[in-house]
Structure 1
Amino acid sequence: MHPRRSAQEVLLCDLCETVPLQSHCELCNINLCVNCAGKHVSDSSKRHNVVPFLHRKSTPNYPKCPKHADKHCEMYCEKCDIPVCITCVTSGKHKGHDISNILEKLGSKTESLQKDLEELESRIYPRYEEMASDVQTEKAVLESKYGKLTTDADEQGEALHREVTAIVNQRKSAISEMKTKHLDALNKNTEEITQKMTELKQIMSDLKSILKSNDVSLTSTYKSRNSEFKTLPPKVRVTVPSFSAQKIHKDQLNKMVGSLSPLSINIEQGYTMKSAEAVSSPPVKPLLDEPRVTATIDTGYNTEYRGLYSVSCLSEDQVWTGGQNETMKLLNLQSKLLTSIQTKSRNEPHDIAVTRDGDLVYTDSNNINLIKNKKIQTVITLQGWVPHNVCCTAANDLLVTMNSDDRKQSKVVRYSGSTEKQSIQFDDQGRPLYSSGGYNKYLSENKNLDICVADWKVNAVVVVNQSGKLRFRYTGHPSNTKQSFMPLGITTDSQSHILTADCGNHRIHILDQDGQFLRYIHCHLKSPYGLCVDIRDNLFVAECFTAKVKKIQYL
């Protein structure tokens, strides 16, 4: 219980702390009983203003002056940035300094505190909550992921056991077959010897009979066969095969069992959230009522089938383009070819993007490639996944949409150089965020670091925050449409607008960063496909079947 309150919560005098209060001094900001109030106003050094407690104003609690104990600081020295009392000001120590009313300073400070509180409550703390939620989600799926690793190891061990058992059985079968052949050879040799021995016994028996009979006729007709049996039958010599057991090398066995990549725990540098003022700091550029085409570039790609589908700005008047063949072209606004580069694989690129350093990135086959000084280097080769669309982020990372080889899974992966930093595939309930299949899913990073993906197979723009948590899905505007919403190319601008190409309806949808529809861009577009904006928010649109790029001013 508060020491100055009774069980009935009676408020006591601040001075005597025993009698219930009745008055309040607005100058000293203290509560007083009747007796203490009389003593308090008797101090003529101050102009006390004692009023009934219930009529008190909401006065600030002036701090006591550290140099003059009987004074309160009612002013503020701007140069020294400290509260001061009237004695401090008149003493000359703050001569020439700007002195303001402490209540004014309190007002501005209070306003600043209120802004801090609002930012903490509405922006900063929710982001920490988001991060904590993401960690909990990751922990929730940890068991299944590590369980799968254990299952994979067990399956590999069982597979090795099966292979070893099969090989051992083959060896045992071969040993048994050799033994049988060995015995057959010895049995055949035995039969030959036994047959000769039978003949010899008969000859010896006949000789004994002749000798015993003294028969001249038998003796004279006898012909010796000894020379025939002096040549002994062949002796079969069979060498028993030996088993050369190979020394088991643990390194080789480890390789056969399979390798386990090391656990990589990367502590990413926490980024500094921009203040609310900084976030809204780019100058406001209102949307034009009538967007206009300011340039048209003829890229020269074949228009018979999906001629042009990718465009990426190198500058305000130079764009890289990718189409239906293996050649990527750098063109200016006058359609002049400045540079052309063929893909290393001689396949058409899946998509292209210009990095913050002005280099070109493209995807094809299972590779993500970088073109620097006209030289192609493969920076990432994927196993089991095919990269499709790519964009460069404000942090100079790469965001890549990709599909599994069996076309049953899709995800967005963030790379820093060749290192995977983030994989975005499922929502909080473990459901896929993106449609499956080997389809284009153009993507772009917004100024608020949201990741925007145009998933045309399900007629939706899917937007997640930088942690990969679903923010919203945009499925088109309920206005008159000839065909279903078909989002393909997607880009964002300095105003955090999301622009997506509605190919089948020949127009661009403009959304705000929260997915609210703002308006269309028509400009007589024909099958708009790829999109990008330059540093001045000019929109470049790749028309698929005309193979032209249109530069459009819409802000």
Structure 2
Amino acid sequence: MIEKLQKQENHLEETREQAQSENRCSIHPTEEVKLYCKQCNMPVCTECCEEGHDGHPTTGLKKAAQERSSTIQVLINEGRNIMESYLSFLKSLREEEKTLNEQKQQTDNIIIQAYNQMVMKLIQRKDHLLSESGEKHTQNLDKIQTERDRVLADVNELSAACDCAEQELQLGWVKILSQQTALTEVVGKYRGKAAPTPVQTQPAVFQPTDTPVPVLGHVMVQSLPSAPIPAAPASSNDAARGTGHHNGNQKQGEHQPQKLSFGGEGSETGQFQGPSSVTVSGEGEVFVADQGNQRIQVFTLQGTFGREFPTVVSGEEKMDPHDVDMDGEGNLWVVGKTDSAGFAVQYNKLGRVLRKFDLQETGWNRGVAVDTRRNHILITQTTRDRDNKHGEVQVYRPDGTFVRTVGQQQGMKLPQYITVDGEGNILVSDCQRDRVYVYDEDGQCLFSLFVDFENDDQLHLDYASGIYLQ
């Protein structure tokens, strides 16, 4: 209690000192403010009246306060009334927010309930189908067992008869049988201002549809083809005339894959000037490297033109695209060259440059492939020496860090097109040596194949798309 009284006494003393300091003139600190200048609308001391306020009408400070108190009180009341209306508006916002939260929760509950009902129907439908499938399976097994029993009965009967006959033969018998001034200005600012209007909200509601759950399918009895009848060997004359039976995977009368051609020579949309490479996205878009027109054109699998973008390196500098491949994120890697340098550039599907790194300019076209399993970029490289060319495969990380070289020992001369198959094996075509080299994921040569490149044409390899250019 003593400590509390001491704190109260100290607080009162500070209040008295503050009041006394506030009654002191800010210009003449030794003088006490007792007068109010009506002309300047401010409290003054006797020194101020003799100096800056000489001749101005004055009155006592207390009287002046009493004269203006009523005016100030009116402004206070008006300001509080406006404030109350704003507080009321804030309250309405809180209530609206609460209502929206409740409606949202109610809507979510309805959605979850409708989802659970649909899942239950799907589960019931699945169980019904499984049961129906099981019944059909049991019926089939019953038929097999019935037939087995019937045949076994016959076998037993035949076996018994044969055994009996053999015994009789051995016996030698032969028989067969199967989320104040200032006050005046503020109040005046808001006096004529329109009150805020309520926020118009449109809460989302969920209206479940009473449509039936999609039927997964039906269990049906499928008619199986009858067992093939063994054919007699073709005669030598039939084979000579081509009328014998066909062996291998090709079947007589089998429909062959449809060949589709599109484009044409030129620089217009959909035309090409030296198309050098092609790749296909998982969505079925065909990306063609149009080398002469310095662009990539995009088509559907049916050959319909979709869009195009220039193969820029930076700013407005373009390169001739030699080869294109797609990485595991659905972005494109394009290798090519400007007049003085070679580059590997990564674009998104709309043609925005994502990253790039420099390559040594050798004067020869390059090929590129992406090893999605290791996130490596594989690029073919050929020395500039025309008479003694040397080829290899250079392996990089996407940031341009060099990893290793593949294929130095096999004597490749002019490798260009390259791909990586589903098992991580690297396939490279070398047109000068008419060979396709095959390496494992560690760069060890497995074998090479002889390919007849007519007129030095390149064999474009693209394992993922299944599209080839020759």
- TM-score, structure 1 normalization: 0.32
More strand by share: 1
**Higher RCO (CA 8 Å, separation ≥ 6 residues):** 1
When you count helix as a share of all residues, which structure comes out higher?
A: 2
TM value normalised by structure 2: 0.37
